[in-house]
Structure 1
Amino acid sequence: MISRISRVLTGFVSRYLPDPLIFAMLLTMLTFVIALVLTPHGPVEMVNMWGNGFWNLLAFGMQMALIIVTGHALASSAPVKRILKQTASVAKTPAQGVMLVTFLGSVACAINWGFGLVVGAMFAKEVARRLPKSDYPLLIACAYIGFLTWGGGLSGSMPLLAATPGNPVEHIIGLIPVSQTIFTGYNMFITFGLIALMPFVTRMMMPKPHEIITIDPSLLEEDPDFQKKLPADAPIAEKMEESRIIALIIGALGIAYLGMYFWEKGFNITINTVNMAFMIAGILLHKTPMAYMRAISAAARSTAGILVQFPFYAGIQLMMEHSGLGGLITEWFINVATKETFPIMTFFSSALINFAVPSGGGHWVIQGPFVMPAAQALGADLGKSAMAIAYGEQWMNMAQPFWALPALAIAGLGVRDIMGYCVTALLFSGVIFIIGLTVF
């Protein structure tokens, strides 16, 4: 049954889902029009909101571009290639490959979402090399399906923001410690449930042998060797470029900084620490500065989608926030909720808003000021209410192509290749979220 559902959804998506850039442009227009109808703001104000927000994600866009190129460059180093190959060798059949990619991607995203997105896609690619009869789009979809665990994991934006002084809701309800969000029974059930069950769901999505999609073999070509051997009479400039000593000194500097950072702040992994760790490890493993630079150059072509699309989502987010449209959507859901149904209604409101604001931090800014006071007034569990926002966002990511861009860039695929499988995962994973929010 699951295989049949995934085939139907894949066919539907292939026919009707446009490129992510067109998707972002259509969402821009839809948000603009709905805000005009439902809020008191006029066209001139909405244009200003969109334009003022257009560049608000520049820093974040740069972070995401860096995580792709530094992660790709790290994976192209000889030692990491060996590790990926050895781990991928555990899978002996395409079915085992699908389950292994889903499992490792889910675990990695629960540890850190940026790390998980990149490593999951790279590992899926390696499994595809070792098991040529695998369905490549399904393997890459499995890597992205692992992203379902991120919001309740150690790097989840919502619970970490709720526990951070100065967040937008602190003055209303105070801080919510992670003991009431991440380290709770319901979150353990949901996160470990996804890790344990989704590999079996993806296994049942596998197409029949005659339905496996044949792909361009160039997508699975090994990355070249980026080392360069210099002649004895090479000029001093080239010797510096290929100097292992310089790479070792910079590597030692980066390791020292990261060591001091974690000593002072504990296990606080951020996208910046992941990027620095990827970069320093890449420089050391490629052995010379220019070998690393050649690896980065080969990876940089994968960032085009992120560079163009992130500004559109930044504009959408500001329109949702400043027009009050995000608040209206949230209020509609919570106004019909009771103490018992409040987490579920919050979950679905967050899922809806995620189409326009696919960002955990953005959801807390838009929904937190409405959801948390309402939860307090109803006597609902504040920690569970905060996590309901996070769960709705991470669940609907399976139908929102925004976060698939890094995996697709690494894989060399388009969004239509994987989204049918992802929407299937959305349907079946929703049961785990609902049970966790209602039973526990």
Structure 2
Amino acid sequence: MFSALTRGCVRVFDRYLPDPLILVLIITLIVFAAGMIFQGHGPVAMLGFWQDGFWNLLSFAMQMALMLVTGFTVAKTPLFMTLVSRIATVARTPIRAVIMVAFVSLIVTWFNWGIGLVVGAILAREMARRVEGVDYRLLVASAYAGFIIWHAGLSAAAPLVVATPGHFLEEQIGIISTGETIFSPLNLIICAVILVLLPVVCGFMMRGLKNPVTVKAEQLADESATATAADEETRPAERLEQSKWLAWISAALGFAAVITYAVGGGGLNLNIVIFVLIFLGLALHGSPKRYLETLDEAVRGVAGVLIQFPFYAGIMGMMKASGLAALMASGFVSISSAHTLPLVSFLSAGFINIFIPSGGGQWAVQGPILMEAAQSLNADIGDVITGFAWGDAWTNMIQPFWALPALAIAGLKARDIMGFCVVIMLVTGVAIGGLLLI
């Protein structure tokens, strides 16, 4: 039955799922119409909400693009490639390969979601070159599936927001420490279950594939590899481009700035992660020239991220300003009790995430409603936030937007992996929902 479900989902999504850009255009039209039908706004008002929101994620879009290209350059360094080779010696069979990719992606994503997206995709690509008979689509799906743990990890949006003094809900709920969310027994138990369950699911899917789609090693050849003979240091400019000292001194300055920032009490955020990745890549490549060659390869996959962020920002603007997001959240909350609110928080966040695929942006809309419900029902606030966090991450398995970095690195389309991701979403959804309810 499990194999039949996997093959059925893969066939359906391969046939009917459009490109993510087409999907975001369709969602835009649906939300535009829903704002007029359910909230009574006129078309001119909805156009205003859409246009006002369209540019709200420009800085975040640039951050995501930089996260992709800088993470790619680090992952393509000789040091990382050596690590991948050692992992590949353990994963000699197709089933072990997908299990290993899923497990590593989960671990890295728990520490930082941006690095996890890139590392998982690079590992999947390299594993496909080394393990014969493994389905390349499933490898990439297994890498992306690790993203399901991001909002339960150290770079989680909502738990870090409510733990920060001065957050927008402080007057309502006070400061909620990460001990009540990220490091709570509930969240850690769910993380442990997913850490075991997800790789096992990926392994079973690989086992049930009758005709795996494989790729030849030469199809995934390193495009940035160049002949060293072409890099002869014959002129001052070429010697400067190949200078190890210039790369290492620049990297040392970058690391010194990070240490100064940390000593001064600076916390972990997206900007500091990107800053570290830039100088780490420069140091590990050993010369500006090799760094730029790899960077050039990485930049080719950024187009989808850059063009879709404004559209999702526009959707978020319409959902928030029209009241649609509040209406949806309130509808879910109205059927809750103190015992079921964490589960309802999970389900409602999963549904709204399809329209607002930004954890921080979604929390700004849904957080006040959930926290008011938690206080009125006397529910555990930390558990409700944990439920929200898992719900926001859960439906990313069918929301291809966040898969774009992995797909760009792998050279695949969303329809190639979404069938597998749906199976993962169904199985993990039952497990997460059950644990939240218990």
* TM-score band w.r.t. shorter chain: over 0.9
| Residues 218-229 of structure 1 aligned to structure 2 (within 5 Å) | 219-225=219-225
Q: CA deviation at 1:133?
A: 1.1
SS of the residue corresponding to residue 338 of structure 2 reads coil
Once the two structures are TM-superposed, the CA of residue 209 in structure 1 deviates from its matched residue by 6.2
* Shift, 1:171, TM fit: 2.2
**What is the percentage of aligned positions where both structures have the same residue?**
42
Whether 1:194 aligns to 2:207 is no
The answer as to 2:165 corresponding to 1:165 is yes
Displacement after TM superposition at 1:146 (Å): 0.8
1:208 Cα shift? 5.0
Q: 1:239 to 1:376 in 2, by over 3 A?
A: same
- Give the C-alpha shift of residue 293 in structure 1: 1.1
2:91 maps to 91
Match of 1:47 in 2: 47
- The structural deviation recorded for 1:262 is 2.9
2:240 is equivalent to residue 240 of structure 1: yes
**CA offset at residue 230 of structure 1?**
5.1
* Residue in 1 that maps onto 2:418: 419
Tell whether 2:341 aligns with 1:347. Answer: no
Q: 1:4 to 1:210 in 2, by over 3 A?
A: closer
Partner residue of 2:175? 175
Q: Is the 8 A contact 1:395 1:430 kept in 2?
A: yes
Shift of residue 244, structure 1, vs aligned partner: 1.7
d(CA) in 1 for partners of 2:106 and 2:401?
A: 18
Q: Is 283-292 or 28-37 further displaced after alignment?
A: 283-292
SS of residue in 1 equivalent to 2:397: helix
User: Match for residue 318 of structure 1?
Assistant: 317
TM-score (norm 2): 0.96
Once residues 114 and 219 of structure 2 are traced to their aligned partners in structure 1, the CA distance between those partners, rounded to angstroms, is 22
Task: Identify if the C-alpha distance between structure 1 residues 232 and 59 changes in structure 2 by more than 3 Å, giving closer, same or farther.
Answer: closer
Is the CA contact 2:224–2:297 (under 8 Å) kept in the aligned structure 1? Answer: no
How do residues 94-113 of structure 1 correspond to structure 2 at under 5 angstroms?
94-113=94-113
Give the 3 Å change call, closer, same or farther, for CA 359–219 of structure 1 in structure 2.
farther
Confirm or deny: 8 A CA contact 1:10 1:420 kept in the other structure.
Answer: yes
1:254 lines up with 2:262 in the alignment: no
Rate the CA distance shift 1:416–1:401 in 2: closer, same or farther, 3 A: same
The reply on whether 1:205 has 2:205 as its aligned counterpart is: yes
- Matched letter for residue 144 of structure 2: Y
Q: 2: distance between equivalents of 1:356 and 1:215?
A: 34
Work out whether residues 242 and 290 of structure 1, in 8 Å CA contact, stay in contact via their aligned partners in 2. Answer: yes
The answer to whether the 8 Å contact 2:99/2:199 transfers is yes
Corresponding letter in the other structure for 2:332? F
Shift of 1:237: 3.0
Which whole-Å CA distance do the structure 1 matches of 2:44 and 2:429 have between them? 40
Shift of 1:165: 2.2
**Deviation digits for residues 4-38 of structure 1, max 9, x if unmatched?**
21111111111221100000100111111111111
How far the C-alpha of 1:426 sits from its partner, in A, is: 0.4
CA shift digits 1:364-405 (9 cap, x unpaired): 101011110111011011111112111111111111101111
Shift of the alpha carbon at 1:232? 5.5
Separation in 2, partners of 1:113, 1:70? 14
| Runs of at least 5 residues in structure 1 that lack an aligned partner in the other structure | none
Deviation at 1:354, TM superposition (A): 0.6
Aligned length: 437
- In the aligned structure 1, how far is the partner of 2:172 from the partner of 2:298? 45
CA shift digits 1:395-422 (9 cap, x unpaired): 1111110111111011000000000110
Q: What is the aligned partner in structure 2 of residue 371 from structure 1?
A: 370
Change (3 A) 1:81 1:28: same
Give the match for residue 358 of structure 1.
Answer: 357
CA spacing shift, 1:329–1:209, aligned 2, 3 Å: closer
Instruction: Classify 1:56/1:230 alpha carbon distance in 2 versus 1 (closer, same or farther; 3 Å).
Output: same
Is 1:269–2:287 an aligned residue pair? Answer: no
Offset at residue 233 of structure 1 (A): 4.2
Q: Aligned residue for 2:61?
A: 61
Name stretches of at least 5 consecutive residues in structure 2 with no aligned partner.
none
> Partner of 1:435 in structure 2?
434
1:279 is matched by which residue type in structure 2? Answer: I
In structure 1, C-alpha distance between the alignment counterparts of 2:190 and 2:93, rounded to whole Å? 28
Inter-partner Cα distance in structure 1 for 2:183 and 2:74: 32
In structure 2, relative to structure 1, the CA distance for the partners of 1:413 and 1:232 (3 Å cut) is: closer
**Alpha-carbon distance in 2 for matches of 1:232, 1:424:** 53
Q: Is the 8 A contact 2:233 2:239 kept in 1?
A: no
* TM-score (normalizing by structure 1): 0.95
Cα RMSD of the aligned pairs, angstroms, is: 1.7
**1:148–1:395 contact (8 Å) kept in structure 2:** yes
Q: How does 1:109-124 map to 2 (within 5 A)?
A: 109-124=109-124
Gap change, CA 1:384 and 1:219, over 3 Å in 2? farther
* Residue of structure 1 equivalent to 2:18: 18
